Amino acid sequence: MTEPRDYTANEYLAILAARQLKDGQVVFAGVGIPLLAATLAQRLDCPNLTILFEGGVVGALVEPGKLPPSTNDQRCTKSANMVLGSAEVLLLMQRGYVDVGFMGGAQIDQYGNLNSSFIGDSTNPSVRLPGSGGGNDIASLTRMIVAMKHEKRRFVEEVDFITSPGFLQGGESRRDSGLLSGGMYRVVTDLAILGFHEQTRRIEVLSLNPGVSREKLQDNTGIRLDFSPELSETPAPTQRELAELRTVDPERLFTD
């Protein structure tokens, strides 16, 4: 194991996100930490992980040191299984071929709904965000993992706009709305790993990252947190994980 000073918060975030993936899964990955984490997972314990990108790439195999800045970058296509149109790769989710959706988030609420559209009033927002892209499709049709920085302004009682649906109003509301599959699975942050209660579908803390107390986590969260009865401490990065991560991203494009 390594001491906390030996890695950055973003490096830890990428490693924690990679740990959520399983060998043999098909994962729809967004750019940034999700792309880095999926690539890292392939090199660590998931050689049969299939990565899909919104640009149409199926079975991406990203070369170390050549991380694409966008999922539409042509470097994503090298050694890929196939390259489809954007519509065709999104249709794979509708047909049930994708296990996990993997994205970042600007704002998330207690039921896992994501906002990447705007902050503030819809008629005069204080901040305009990138929008949905394929985010709504991914969240509507797959089991979702979100990787994001843990800040009070990001974790809110109710998002200003639901760009990508989590469990909507909790309970059975997602299924009642017609979204019969998928749902939010994990939220991975630099402070904790969070899941969603099986009945209420409200967010709950599964593990605290090293050096993080319940009080510190709550102080950095804009909603009241529930803690799992099996609350644990998240394992720190191993030397192997850090070495592979720095091989994949030697210039620290996503981890500084």
Active site residues: 54
**DSSP 8-state assignment for residue 164:** B
Q: How far is CA 126 from CA 118, 133, 154, 179, 189, in A?
A: 8, 21, 15, 31, 25
Residue with tokens 């065709």: 88
- Answer for the pair 39, 65: CB distance below 8 angstroms, yes or no: no
End-to-end CA distance of the chain: 21
Name the region of 211 (left: φ>0; alpha: ψ -120 to 50; beta: rest): left
Q: Assign 143 to helix, strand or coil.
A: strand
String of DSSP letters for 205-248: EEEEPTT--HHHHHHT-SSPPEEEEEEEEPPPPPHHHHHHHHHH
Q: Assign 101 to helix, strand or coil.
A: strand
Residue with tokens 């939220």: 187
Q: Which H/E stretch holds residue 183?
A: strand 183-188
From the list 197, 185, 188, 179, the residue with the least C-alpha distance to 136 is 179
